[in-house]
Structure 1
Amino acid sequence: MPGLIVMLTMLVLCSIVLAGELTGRAQVINTDTLEVHGTRVRLWGIEAPDNSQMCRDIKSNLYRCGLNAASDLEGFIAEREVRCLSVLQDECGRTVATCSADGIDLGEWLVRNGLALDWTQSSTGPYHAAQRAADRAGLGLWAGSFAVPWLYRACIRLGGQPASCSDDANAHP
């Protein structure tokens, strides 16, 4: 019986440690979701285009902005170790965290390069300055036109098709 108590105590302590930090090689699932040691982690503070979402570039050509952004993130992370801090569960039961590679915040990197948006869309948002810089420089999504990810997902939920829900030249802020 004492062995069982020790083992259960160790399991509880280990889960508490894992709840605070998760470190290791990461697989990019999509632009705002990584998998580290079998745990899917949604990047805190950002909204990113879905893999099926299309956007228009500066020449109005359609491209898979969500898939391209995920690929860019994968290239940025490469073989580096990813460290996710403040791992918690959101209201939907998803694991959410701020993650970095070589000390660079991945959410901030995505927003600064125009590959994702600050989720609050307010001047007090965690990545507001990075989003303004990307918008002003015409980087990534800001080089052309796009539907903001939450409107794209709402359109899909209402029965829309990716091509018709993806692009709206007047939809982004």
Structure 2
Amino acid sequence: MKGTLIVDVGSRLGAVLYAVYSYSSGRVNAIGIEMNEDFCKLQKRVIEINGMEANIKVINDDVRKQAEVVSAADVIVLHNVFSFFLPLADQTECWEFLRKSTRPGTAVISNPAIEAVTDHLILSFSISDWLEKIETGHLAAQYAGVNQDLFNDCVKLTLYKVKHQDEVQ
């Protein structure tokens, strides 16, 4: 776990970043990439107040300008990114950028599923050629126990692994 880099694309208020810090006891690094300057200022203030600066950073920028950060990520978190904030052409560019910038073996956690948020776009690639979907229903069931509402929330998170070039059909 130590040395792992988690990148939250569209980090908004920073909830993923704070959870990473809290649950890893500061052993994991996390970077939020957020276009909204006010949200970045708020996140930076929370990070500073709570002494998380050594492991948690926020970048106020468009993800398409952060290839170095994205390519260094071990885990990428995507929660309702692009669809609500960008015109179709920019959404397409963002997905093309992510496909080109992610390393093989990188885990991608998305809510909603990437297939659902890209089905209206014309991409130069197939999601299934880029990403391998990892079944997590058993983990959601184990975590949620008998709590059906919690289970329903957990299964909305979709886990993928970026394929190696030789795995692409």
Structure with higher RCO (Cα < 8 A, 6+ apart)? 1
TM-based fold match above 0.5: no
The normalised TM-score by structure 1 is 0.28
- Which has a greater percent of strand? 1
Who wins on radius of gyration, i.e. which is larger? 1
